[in-house]
Amino acid sequence: MGMDELKAIFASNLIRLRGEAGWTQAELGERLHYSDKSVSKWERAEAVPDALVLKTMAGLFHVSIDELLTSHDEWKPTPEQKGDRRYNPLFVILCVVVGVFTLCLLAFLLFWIFGRVEWLLLYAAVPVDITVLLVFNSIWYRGRRNMYIIMALVFSLLLLAFFLTGLWQLLLLTVPLVALVYLACQIGRKR
């Protein structure tokens, strides 16, 4: 087998596995710490990544390196993959966020039915939902948008503090705290 044939086999396997995982080229590249241009190059059969990347990629797709480099006339999932069901992380996050808000709304309605209107239950749902979003974003999206989520969390906590205390002056902290979050997130960024 020539190098060109190996590149074509690898490209075919990579396209199939990435498609099954539901990842874009950019998402796969981010998981491998490579650009989407590198992934595109591999999928166009212009190159094959080095052994370390192949090992990492095999782990991401739950296959052996041999399966990445071997022709598969008919793709058969490994026994591990047969029971492995892929979920769309976005819909899992949305279900949890809506679920948390629904629980807070249910508690609000129960209090209301028994004669007490507790708006705080609805106000508190927002920072709780944003915290859940932050956790899932850190797990599944490797914290790509964490800076914006943390900014929203800071703002929602200040708003909650305002609703609790009635001190509008607390809202004056919004700009410096959001600026602090922005600057803190820039510390670890590569140039």
CATH architecture under which domain 3-82 falls: Orthogonal Bundle (1.10)
Parse the chain into domains and list their residue ranges.
Answer: 3-82, 93-187
Is the pLDDT confidence value at 7 over 50? yes
Mean pLDDT of 16-24: 88
**Confidence category of residue 109, pLDDT binned at 50, 70, 90:** very high
pLDDT for position 1: 66
Is the pLDDT confidence value at 137 over 90? no
Is the pLDDT confidence value at 188 over 80? no
Tell me how far apart the alpha carbons of residues 131 and 134 are, in angstroms, rounded to a whole number. 5
Q: What is the mean pLDDT of the chain?
A: 85
**Confidence category of residue 69, pLDDT binned at 50, 70, 90:** confident
Reported as a single tens digit per residue, the pLDDT across 85-101 is 567 788 888 899 899 99
Is the pLDDT confidence value at 110 over 90? yes
Is the pLDDT confidence value at 40 over 60? yes
**Confidence category of residue 142, pLDDT binned at 50, 70, 90:** confident
The answer to whether the beta carbons of residues 68 and 14 sit under 8 Å apart is yes
185 exposure class (CB count in 10 Å sphere: 0-12, 13-18, 19+)? middle
Mean pLDDT of 26-46: 89
pLDDT for position 86: 64
